Amino acid sequence: MAEVTPKSLAGKRIVITRSAAQSEALARELSARGAIPVVIPLVSFAEPEDFAPLDAALAEIERFDWMILTSAQAVHAVAKRGEKLKLSLIHLGSKPRIACVGPVTAETARQAGFRVEYVGETHTGAGLADELGNRLQGSKIFLPRSDRANPDLPSALSRYGAEVTEVIAYRTLRPSAVDERQLREIAEGGTEAVLFFSPSAAQHFGELLGSERLHALQDRLAITAVGPVTAHALREAGVRRLVISADTTAAAVVEALEEHFAGTVKQASAGAKRE
């Protein structure tokens, strides 16, 4: 592991491909270390085209043994719809128990008033199913998710004997307007790192710049995958040189970047000495 110095990120332009609201904490952490955060949202969210399945599940929420939340957006969607329907979701009794895929989703759920019982350690949906394991046998699971969510989780839950009610709580879209000037700056070398928080963001980036440019960028900047699912998606897209953050907390992302750039400086220094 490279020795991290307080100046590892100083002056580095770091592109965050999430919305400004989702990026506030991370942008503050990066700025505090001298980095220059640049927010370019590559994912937007919309309501489901049909609310009926979500409304039906929420109306009978206490018939479920577990509600599994896999993203902060899922939390927002459920809470907002519950409020619209005048359902007191945050005053539930013992059911359903709530499990979250990772610490950021869990913190969002707690801020929304939900009582979180379990937080995943591996930060993937399938990993969460494995962690809950036999506790899922015969249980009824409510799974509100994106229309583009990975199918691994419901399959894993079913393997453990759970009855899964999966509903579309929100849709994941490519933003209708993306700053093309900022994208050109990335392609032309005006950035030191790009952070991807979801497979959808990585896909949209590839669509906007082209797969060849995406592949070329891995030799010039730190393409950073936040979480193992996003890392897998980027590898599937042909990106082999990745910086990987274990989870979506600002601290974890900053730590991964600091270690990467500290290592880059160390290698450059060693090269200079050899000359």
pLDDT tens digits along 47-60: 999 999 999 999 99
Q: What is the pLDDT of residue 267?
A: 45
Q: Using alpha carbons, select from 102, 105, 107, 159 the residue that is nearest to residue 129.
A: 159
Q: Using alpha carbons, select from 183, 67, 63, 75 the residue that is nearest to residue 118.
A: 67
pLDDT < 50 stretches in the chain: 1-4, 265-275
Which pTM does this prediction carry?
A: 0.84
Measured CA to CA in angstroms, residue 205 lies from 105, 191, 216 at distances of 24, 15, 13
CATH 3.90.1170.50 fits 47-173, yes or no: no
In the chain, ranges of CATH 3.40.50.10090 domains = 13-43+176-274, 47-173
Tell me 135's DSSP state.
G
Q: What is the pLDDT of residue 265?
A: 47
Q: What is the pLDDT of residue 176?
A: 83
For 241-254, letters b (16+ CB in 10 Å) and e give ebbbbebbbbebbb
Class of domain 13-43+176-274: alpha beta
Quick: pLDDT tens for 36-48: 999 999 999 999 9
